[in-house]
Structure 1
Amino acid sequence: MKTGSAGTAREYAALDDAQLAACVRNGEREAFRQITQRCNQRLFRVVRGVIRDEAEAEDVVQEAYLHAYQKIGSFRGEASLATWLTRIALNEAYGRLRQRHETLNIDDMEPVAEMDNVVAFPGAHEDPLRMAENAQLRRWLEGAIDALPEGFRLVYLLRDVEGCSVAETATTLELREETVKTRLHRARKQLRSALEDKVTAARGGVFEFMGARCARVTEAVMARIAVLP
Protein backbone atom coordinates (compact mmCIF):
# COMPACT_ATOMS: atom_id res chain seq x y z
CA MET A 1 0.00 0.00 0.00
CA LYS A 2 1.13 3.56 -0.55
CA THR A 3 1.02 6.44 1.86
CA GLY A 4 -2.06 8.51 1.27
CA SER A 5 -2.64 12.19 1.89
CA ALA A 6 -6.37 12.36 1.31
CA GLY A 7 -7.32 13.21 4.89
CA THR A 8 -6.03 14.83 8.04
CA ALA A 9 -6.00 13.23 11.48
CA ARG A 10 -9.00 15.36 12.38
CA GLU A 11 -10.93 14.13 9.34
CA TYR A 12 -10.06 10.51 9.99
CA ALA A 13 -11.28 10.84 13.57
CA ALA A 14 -14.76 11.59 12.27
CA LEU A 15 -14.96 8.49 10.07
CA ASP A 16 -16.76 5.30 11.04
CA ASP A 17 -15.25 1.81 10.88
CA ALA A 18 -16.26 1.06 7.30
CA GLN A 19 -14.96 4.41 6.06
CA LEU A 20 -11.64 4.01 7.85
CA ALA A 21 -11.18 0.52 6.48
CA ALA A 22 -11.96 1.79 2.98
CA CYS A 23 -9.35 4.53 3.36
CA VAL A 24 -6.72 1.99 4.37
CA ARG A 25 -7.64 -0.24 1.44
CA ASN A 26 -7.23 2.80 -0.82
CA GLY A 27 -3.68 3.30 0.40
CA GLU A 28 -4.24 5.99 3.02
CA ARG A 29 -1.89 4.73 5.70
CA GLU A 30 -2.65 7.57 8.09
CA ALA A 31 -6.18 6.18 8.41
CA PHE A 32 -4.63 3.16 10.08
CA ARG A 33 -3.09 5.45 12.68
CA GLN A 34 -6.62 6.46 13.68
CA ILE A 35 -7.60 2.80 13.92
CA THR A 36 -4.71 2.05 16.27
CA GLN A 37 -5.53 5.03 18.44
CA ARG A 38 -9.12 3.86 18.75
CA CYS A 39 -8.27 0.27 19.53
CA ASN A 40 -4.94 0.29 21.40
CA GLN A 41 -6.49 0.26 24.86
CA ARG A 42 -8.80 -2.67 24.22
CA LEU A 43 -6.27 -4.76 22.34
CA PHE A 44 -3.61 -4.23 24.99
CA ARG A 45 -5.97 -5.12 27.83
CA VAL A 46 -7.22 -8.28 26.17
CA VAL A 47 -3.77 -9.44 25.05
CA ARG A 48 -2.37 -8.58 28.48
CA GLY A 49 -5.16 -10.73 29.90
CA VAL A 50 -3.82 -13.71 27.93
CA ILE A 51 -0.08 -13.08 27.99
CA ARG A 52 0.16 -11.54 31.47
CA ASP A 53 3.38 -9.78 30.56
CA GLU A 54 3.17 -6.12 29.62
CA ALA A 55 6.23 -5.88 27.38
CA GLU A 56 5.30 -9.00 25.43
CA ALA A 57 1.70 -7.86 25.21
CA GLU A 58 2.85 -4.67 23.47
CA ASP A 59 4.80 -6.75 20.96
CA VAL A 60 1.81 -9.01 20.32
CA VAL A 61 -0.43 -5.98 19.74
CA GLN A 62 2.02 -4.63 17.17
CA GLU A 63 2.13 -7.95 15.34
CA ALA A 64 -1.66 -8.13 15.37
CA TYR A 65 -1.88 -4.66 13.81
CA LEU A 66 0.54 -5.63 11.05
CA HIS A 67 -1.51 -8.70 10.23
CA ALA A 68 -4.69 -6.63 10.28
CA TYR A 69 -3.18 -3.99 8.01
CA GLN A 70 -2.15 -6.61 5.49
CA LYS A 71 -5.56 -8.30 5.50
CA ILE A 72 -7.72 -5.17 5.80
CA GLY A 73 -9.45 -6.25 2.60
CA SER A 74 -11.06 -9.09 4.54
CA PHE A 75 -12.85 -6.68 6.89
CA ARG A 76 -16.49 -6.78 5.87
CA GLY A 77 -18.05 -4.73 8.65
CA GLU A 78 -20.06 -7.63 10.04
CA ALA A 79 -18.59 -6.72 13.44
CA SER A 80 -16.87 -3.54 14.59
CA LEU A 81 -13.24 -2.92 13.73
CA ALA A 82 -12.43 -3.27 17.42
CA THR A 83 -14.04 -6.71 17.55
CA TRP A 84 -12.33 -7.79 14.31
CA LEU A 85 -8.97 -6.57 15.56
CA THR A 86 -9.46 -8.19 18.96
CA ARG A 87 -9.99 -11.57 17.31
CA ILE A 88 -6.75 -11.12 15.37
CA ALA A 89 -4.93 -10.02 18.53
CA LEU A 90 -6.26 -13.01 20.49
CA ASN A 91 -5.11 -15.38 17.76
CA GLU A 92 -1.68 -13.77 17.86
CA ALA A 93 -1.56 -14.03 21.65
CA TYR A 94 -2.53 -17.71 21.66
CA GLY A 95 0.03 -18.36 18.95
CA ARG A 96 2.67 -16.73 21.11
CA LEU A 97 1.70 -18.95 24.03
CA ARG A 98 1.86 -22.04 21.83
CA GLN A 99 5.41 -21.04 20.98
CA ARG A 100 6.10 -21.11 24.71
CA HIS A 101 4.58 -24.60 24.83
CA GLU A 102 1.97 -23.47 27.31
CA THR A 103 -1.33 -25.34 27.39
CA LEU A 104 -4.52 -23.35 27.31
CA ASN A 105 -8.06 -24.55 27.80
CA ILE A 106 -10.44 -21.82 28.85
CA ASP A 107 -13.31 -24.27 29.17
CA ASP A 108 -11.45 -26.47 31.64
CA MET A 109 -12.78 -24.72 34.70
CA GLU A 110 -14.68 -25.65 37.83
CA PRO A 111 -18.48 -25.64 37.47
CA VAL A 112 -20.10 -22.25 37.93
CA ALA A 113 -22.07 -21.76 41.11
CA GLU A 114 -25.65 -20.50 41.18
CA MET A 115 -25.80 -16.83 40.39
CA ASP A 116 -28.15 -16.14 43.31
CA ASN A 117 -25.15 -16.45 45.61
CA VAL A 118 -23.09 -13.77 43.88
CA VAL A 119 -22.24 -10.93 46.24
CA ALA A 120 -22.24 -7.49 44.64
CA PHE A 121 -19.32 -5.12 44.89
CA PRO A 122 -20.02 -2.02 46.93
CA GLY A 123 -20.70 1.02 44.84
CA ALA A 124 -22.37 1.71 41.51
CA HIS A 125 -22.82 -1.01 38.93
CA GLU A 126 -20.91 -3.60 40.99
CA ASP A 127 -17.73 -2.43 39.24
CA PRO A 128 -14.57 -2.29 41.37
CA LEU A 129 -12.67 -0.56 38.56
CA ARG A 130 -14.75 2.57 39.26
CA MET A 131 -13.56 2.43 42.84
CA ALA A 132 -9.78 2.32 42.53
CA GLU A 133 -8.48 5.53 44.12
CA ASN A 134 -4.78 4.89 44.17
CA ALA A 135 -1.97 2.95 42.54
CA GLN A 136 -1.81 0.41 45.34
CA LEU A 137 -5.43 -0.60 44.90
CA ARG A 138 -4.98 -0.79 41.14
CA ARG A 139 -2.09 -3.19 41.72
CA TRP A 140 -4.25 -5.31 44.02
CA LEU A 141 -7.01 -5.33 41.45
CA GLU A 142 -4.72 -6.17 38.55
CA GLY A 143 -3.30 -9.04 40.58
CA ALA A 144 -6.80 -10.31 41.36
CA ILE A 145 -7.77 -10.09 37.68
CA ASP A 146 -4.61 -11.97 36.69
CA ALA A 147 -5.58 -14.71 39.16
CA LEU A 148 -8.94 -15.30 37.49
CA PRO A 149 -9.30 -18.31 35.18
CA GLU A 150 -8.59 -17.09 31.66
CA GLY A 151 -12.15 -17.47 30.41
CA PHE A 152 -13.46 -15.34 33.27
CA ARG A 153 -10.60 -12.86 32.94
CA LEU A 154 -11.23 -12.08 29.28
CA VAL A 155 -14.97 -11.73 29.76
CA TYR A 156 -14.41 -9.42 32.72
CA LEU A 157 -11.91 -7.25 30.83
CA LEU A 158 -14.20 -6.87 27.84
CA ARG A 159 -17.44 -6.35 29.77
CA ASP A 160 -16.50 -4.43 32.91
CA VAL A 161 -13.22 -2.79 31.92
CA GLU A 162 -13.83 -2.06 28.22
CA GLY A 163 -17.60 -1.73 28.54
CA CYS A 164 -18.41 -4.06 25.66
CA SER A 165 -21.95 -5.37 25.35
CA VAL A 166 -22.81 -8.98 26.05
CA ALA A 167 -23.33 -9.54 22.31
CA GLU A 168 -20.01 -7.98 21.32
CA THR A 169 -18.15 -9.91 24.01
CA ALA A 170 -19.77 -13.14 22.86
CA THR A 171 -18.80 -12.43 19.26
CA THR A 172 -15.24 -11.53 20.17
CA LEU A 173 -14.64 -14.61 22.31
CA GLU A 174 -16.85 -16.93 20.23
CA LEU A 175 -19.08 -17.78 23.17
CA ARG A 176 -22.82 -18.00 23.77
CA GLU A 177 -24.27 -14.87 25.34
CA GLU A 178 -25.47 -16.88 28.33
CA THR A 179 -21.91 -18.11 28.85
CA VAL A 180 -20.68 -14.52 28.85
CA LYS A 181 -23.22 -13.59 31.52
CA THR A 182 -22.34 -16.59 33.65
CA ARG A 183 -18.60 -16.02 33.45
CA LEU A 184 -18.97 -12.33 34.24
CA HIS A 185 -20.98 -13.10 37.36
CA ARG A 186 -18.43 -15.64 38.47
CA ALA A 187 -15.52 -13.27 37.77
CA ARG A 188 -17.17 -10.55 39.85
CA LYS A 189 -17.75 -13.01 42.66
CA GLN A 190 -14.12 -14.13 42.68
CA LEU A 191 -12.86 -10.55 42.57
CA ARG A 192 -15.24 -9.62 45.40
CA SER A 193 -13.80 -12.43 47.48
CA ALA A 194 -10.21 -11.46 46.68
CA LEU A 195 -10.68 -7.75 47.32
CA GLU A 196 -13.34 -7.57 50.02
CA ASP A 197 -10.84 -6.30 52.60
CA LYS A 198 -9.14 -3.88 50.20
CA VAL A 199 -11.79 -2.25 48.02
CA THR A 200 -12.58 1.32 49.11
CA ALA A 201 -14.43 4.16 47.49
CA ALA A 202 -12.17 5.32 44.66
CA ARG A 203 -11.79 5.77 40.95
CA GLY A 204 -9.36 4.56 38.33
CA GLY A 205 -8.57 1.97 35.73
CA VAL A 206 -6.27 -1.00 35.29
CA PHE A 207 -3.81 -1.99 32.60
CA GLU A 208 -3.87 1.57 31.34
CA PHE A 209 -2.46 2.03 27.89
CA MET A 210 -2.87 5.65 27.05
CA GLY A 211 -0.53 8.60 26.59
CA ALA A 212 3.09 7.80 25.80
CA ARG A 213 2.59 4.02 25.71
CA CYS A 214 -0.29 4.30 23.27
CA ALA A 215 1.70 6.71 21.10
CA ARG A 216 4.76 4.44 21.17
CA VAL A 217 2.85 1.46 19.82
CA THR A 218 1.11 3.55 17.19
CA GLU A 219 4.40 5.04 15.96
CA ALA A 220 6.10 1.62 15.93
CA VAL A 221 3.25 0.14 13.89
CA MET A 222 3.24 3.06 11.44
CA ALA A 223 7.02 2.78 10.99
CA ARG A 224 6.74 -0.91 10.20
CA ILE A 225 3.87 -0.32 7.79
CA ALA A 226 5.89 2.34 5.99
CA VAL A 227 8.42 -0.21 4.74
CA LEU A 228 5.85 -2.69 3.50
CA PRO A 229 5.66 -3.09 -0.29
Structure 2
Amino acid sequence: MDLQTLQSHLMGLVRTHGCLRDISHFNRVWRNAQLIAEDYPEADRMVLLVASYLHDIDFTPKDSPLRPQGSRIAAKKTVKILEEMGGFSKSAISSVAHAIEAHNPSAGISAETLEAKIIQDADRLDMLGAMGIIRNFMYAGRVGNRAYCEEDPLAKNRDPDETLFAIDHYPQKLFGLANMMNTQKAHEIAENRINFMHGFLAQIMREVGPLDGDGPPV
Protein backbone atom coordinates (compact mmCIF):
# COMPACT_ATOMS: atom_id res chain seq x y z
CA MET A 1 0.00 0.00 0.00
CA ASP A 2 1.47 3.37 -1.00
CA LEU A 3 1.67 6.18 1.55
CA GLN A 4 -1.13 8.25 0.01
CA THR A 5 -3.56 5.33 0.08
CA LEU A 6 -2.50 4.45 3.61
CA GLN A 7 -2.97 8.06 4.71
CA SER A 8 -6.51 8.12 3.34
CA HIS A 9 -7.30 4.91 5.20
CA LEU A 10 -5.83 6.21 8.46
CA MET A 11 -7.79 9.44 8.21
CA GLY A 12 -10.93 7.33 8.25
CA LEU A 13 -9.82 5.59 11.45
CA VAL A 14 -8.79 8.50 13.65
CA ARG A 15 -11.02 9.67 16.43
CA THR A 16 -11.42 13.32 17.38
CA HIS A 17 -10.77 14.11 21.03
CA GLY A 18 -12.02 17.65 21.37
CA CYS A 19 -10.85 20.68 19.45
CA LEU A 20 -7.15 20.17 20.24
CA ARG A 21 -6.77 16.65 18.87
CA ASP A 22 -8.80 16.56 15.71
CA ILE A 23 -7.87 15.56 12.18
CA SER A 24 -6.07 18.86 11.62
CA HIS A 25 -3.74 18.08 14.54
CA PHE A 26 -2.88 14.69 13.06
CA ASN A 27 -2.32 16.28 9.65
CA ARG A 28 0.08 18.78 11.20
CA VAL A 29 1.99 16.12 13.14
CA TRP A 30 2.46 14.21 9.88
CA ARG A 31 3.58 17.40 8.17
CA ASN A 32 6.03 18.13 10.99
CA ALA A 33 7.33 14.57 10.84
CA GLN A 34 7.96 14.86 7.10
CA LEU A 35 9.68 18.20 7.60
CA ILE A 36 12.03 16.75 10.23
CA ALA A 37 12.61 13.59 8.20
CA GLU A 38 13.97 15.63 5.29
CA ASP A 39 17.26 15.53 7.21
CA TYR A 40 16.91 11.81 7.96
CA PRO A 41 16.34 9.86 4.73
CA GLU A 42 16.81 6.60 6.62
CA ALA A 43 13.65 7.19 8.69
CA ASP A 44 10.79 4.83 7.79
CA ARG A 45 8.04 7.04 6.32
CA MET A 46 5.38 4.36 6.79
CA VAL A 47 6.10 4.18 10.52
CA LEU A 48 6.03 7.97 10.76
CA LEU A 49 2.74 8.17 8.86
CA VAL A 50 0.90 5.59 10.96
CA ALA A 51 2.22 6.96 14.26
CA SER A 52 1.33 10.53 13.24
CA TYR A 53 -2.32 9.63 12.75
CA LEU A 54 -2.82 7.03 15.48
CA HIS A 55 -0.71 8.33 18.37
CA ASP A 56 -3.83 9.70 20.07
CA ILE A 57 -6.21 6.91 19.02
CA ASP A 58 -7.04 6.52 22.72
CA PHE A 59 -6.33 9.98 24.11
CA THR A 60 -6.36 10.29 27.91
CA PRO A 61 -7.04 13.77 29.39
CA LYS A 62 -4.23 15.47 31.32
CA ASP A 63 -6.17 15.37 34.58
CA SER A 64 -6.93 11.65 34.36
CA PRO A 65 -5.10 9.25 36.71
CA LEU A 66 -4.71 6.99 33.66
CA ARG A 67 -2.72 9.65 31.79
CA PRO A 68 0.63 7.81 32.13
CA GLN A 69 -1.00 4.75 30.54
CA GLY A 70 -2.61 6.61 27.64
CA SER A 71 0.13 6.15 25.07
CA ARG A 72 0.51 2.47 25.94
CA ILE A 73 -3.22 1.94 25.43
CA ALA A 74 -3.04 3.79 22.10
CA ALA A 75 -0.10 1.61 21.03
CA LYS A 76 -1.99 -1.60 21.83
CA LYS A 77 -5.02 -0.43 19.87
CA THR A 78 -2.79 0.50 16.94
CA VAL A 79 -1.16 -2.93 16.94
CA LYS A 80 -4.60 -4.53 16.71
CA ILE A 81 -5.61 -2.18 13.89
CA LEU A 82 -2.49 -2.92 11.85
CA GLU A 83 -2.77 -6.67 12.40
CA GLU A 84 -6.37 -6.58 11.19
CA MET A 85 -5.42 -4.46 8.17
CA GLY A 86 -2.66 -6.86 7.18
CA GLY A 87 0.36 -6.17 5.03
CA PHE A 88 2.60 -4.95 7.86
CA SER A 89 5.61 -6.88 9.11
CA LYS A 90 6.02 -7.62 12.80
CA SER A 91 9.03 -5.33 12.95
CA ALA A 92 7.07 -2.48 11.33
CA ILE A 93 4.19 -2.92 13.78
CA SER A 94 6.65 -2.99 16.67
CA SER A 95 8.30 0.21 15.43
CA VAL A 96 4.95 2.00 15.17
CA ALA A 97 3.93 0.81 18.64
CA HIS A 98 7.15 2.07 20.18
CA ALA A 99 6.84 5.46 18.48
CA ILE A 100 3.31 5.83 19.88
CA GLU A 101 4.24 4.60 23.37
CA ALA A 102 7.15 7.01 23.62
CA HIS A 103 5.53 10.11 22.13
CA ASN A 104 4.06 11.24 25.47
CA PRO A 105 6.73 11.95 28.11
CA SER A 106 4.24 11.20 30.90
CA ALA A 107 4.51 7.52 29.94
CA GLY A 108 8.12 7.50 31.08
CA ILE A 109 9.26 5.60 27.97
CA SER A 110 12.44 6.77 26.24
CA ALA A 111 12.30 7.23 22.48
CA GLU A 112 14.87 4.68 21.33
CA THR A 113 14.38 4.65 17.56
CA LEU A 114 14.81 7.48 15.07
CA GLU A 115 11.13 7.25 14.16
CA ALA A 116 10.06 7.52 17.81
CA LYS A 117 12.27 10.56 18.28
CA ILE A 118 10.82 12.23 15.19
CA ILE A 119 7.22 11.57 16.24
CA GLN A 120 7.85 12.94 19.72
CA ASP A 121 9.40 16.06 18.19
CA ALA A 122 6.64 16.42 15.59
CA ASP A 123 3.93 16.28 18.25
CA ARG A 124 5.74 18.81 20.44
CA LEU A 125 6.19 21.20 17.53
CA ASP A 126 2.42 21.49 17.23
CA MET A 127 2.46 23.21 20.63
CA LEU A 128 4.59 26.03 19.23
CA GLY A 129 4.31 28.87 16.74
CA ALA A 130 1.02 30.21 15.40
CA MET A 131 -0.76 26.89 15.88
CA GLY A 132 0.59 26.66 19.41
CA ILE A 133 -0.94 30.05 20.19
CA ILE A 134 -4.27 29.01 18.68
CA ARG A 135 -4.36 25.71 20.58
CA ASN A 136 -3.36 27.42 23.82
CA PHE A 137 -6.26 29.85 23.67
CA MET A 138 -8.70 27.15 22.58
CA TYR A 139 -7.78 25.17 25.68
CA ALA A 140 -7.94 28.24 27.93
CA GLY A 141 -11.41 29.05 26.64
CA ARG A 142 -12.55 25.49 27.22
CA VAL A 143 -11.43 25.39 30.87
CA GLY A 144 -12.30 29.01 31.65
CA ASN A 145 -8.82 30.48 32.11
CA ARG A 146 -8.18 34.18 31.57
CA ALA A 147 -5.97 35.25 28.67
CA TYR A 148 -3.44 37.11 30.83
CA CYS A 149 -2.89 38.67 34.24
CA GLU A 150 -3.95 42.33 34.16
CA GLU A 151 -1.42 43.42 36.78
CA ASP A 152 1.59 41.59 35.29
CA PRO A 153 0.84 40.07 31.86
CA LEU A 154 4.32 38.64 31.26
CA ALA A 155 4.90 37.42 34.83
CA LYS A 156 7.86 39.72 35.40
CA ASN A 157 7.25 39.95 39.15
CA ARG A 158 5.30 36.78 39.88
CA ASP A 159 5.49 33.07 39.22
CA PRO A 160 3.68 32.14 35.99
CA ASP A 161 0.53 30.10 36.57
CA GLU A 162 -0.83 28.34 33.49
CA THR A 163 -3.86 27.13 35.47
CA LEU A 164 -5.09 30.73 35.65
CA PHE A 165 -3.69 32.59 32.62
CA ALA A 166 -3.32 31.30 29.06
CA ILE A 167 -0.07 33.03 28.12
CA ASP A 168 1.62 31.92 31.35
CA HIS A 169 1.83 28.52 29.66
CA TYR A 170 4.53 29.91 27.37
CA PRO A 171 7.27 30.60 29.95
CA GLN A 172 6.06 27.83 32.25
CA LYS A 173 6.38 25.08 29.64
CA LEU A 174 6.40 25.92 25.95
CA PHE A 175 9.53 28.05 25.77
CA GLY A 176 11.54 25.14 27.16
CA LEU A 177 10.47 22.69 24.45
CA ALA A 178 13.23 23.62 22.00
CA ASN A 179 15.85 22.18 24.33
CA MET A 180 13.80 19.00 24.73
CA MET A 181 13.79 18.14 21.03
CA ASN A 182 15.53 14.93 20.01
CA THR A 183 16.63 16.06 16.56
CA GLN A 184 18.61 19.10 15.46
CA LYS A 185 16.08 19.86 12.72
CA ALA A 186 13.21 19.97 15.22
CA HIS A 187 15.29 22.13 17.56
CA GLU A 188 15.81 24.68 14.79
CA ILE A 189 12.11 24.70 13.87
CA ALA A 190 11.16 25.05 17.53
CA GLU A 191 13.49 28.03 18.01
CA ASN A 192 11.90 29.79 15.03
CA ARG A 193 8.38 29.16 16.30
CA ILE A 194 9.28 30.29 19.82
CA ASN A 195 10.71 33.52 18.40
CA PHE A 196 7.34 34.09 16.72
CA MET A 197 5.61 33.56 20.07
CA HIS A 198 7.91 36.09 21.75
CA GLY A 199 6.85 38.56 19.07
CA PHE A 200 3.21 37.78 19.86
CA LEU A 201 3.79 38.52 23.55
CA ALA A 202 5.53 41.77 22.65
CA GLN A 203 2.48 42.78 20.61
CA ILE A 204 0.22 41.94 23.55
CA MET A 205 2.20 44.35 25.71
CA ARG A 206 1.90 47.04 23.03
CA GLU A 207 -1.86 46.60 23.21
CA VAL A 208 -2.43 46.20 26.96
CA GLY A 209 0.64 47.77 28.57
CA PRO A 210 0.91 51.30 29.99
CA LEU A 211 0.46 54.18 27.54
CA ASP A 212 3.57 56.31 27.07
CA GLY A 213 2.03 58.77 24.62
CA ASP A 214 4.91 58.57 22.16
CA GLY A 215 4.78 55.01 20.95
CA PRO A 216 4.02 53.88 17.39
CA PRO A 217 0.52 52.80 16.34
CA VAL A 218 -0.33 49.32 17.59
For normalisation by structure 1, the TM-score amounts to 0.28
Which one has the bigger helix percentage? 1
Higher-RCO chain (CA-CA 8 Å, sequence separation at least 6): 1
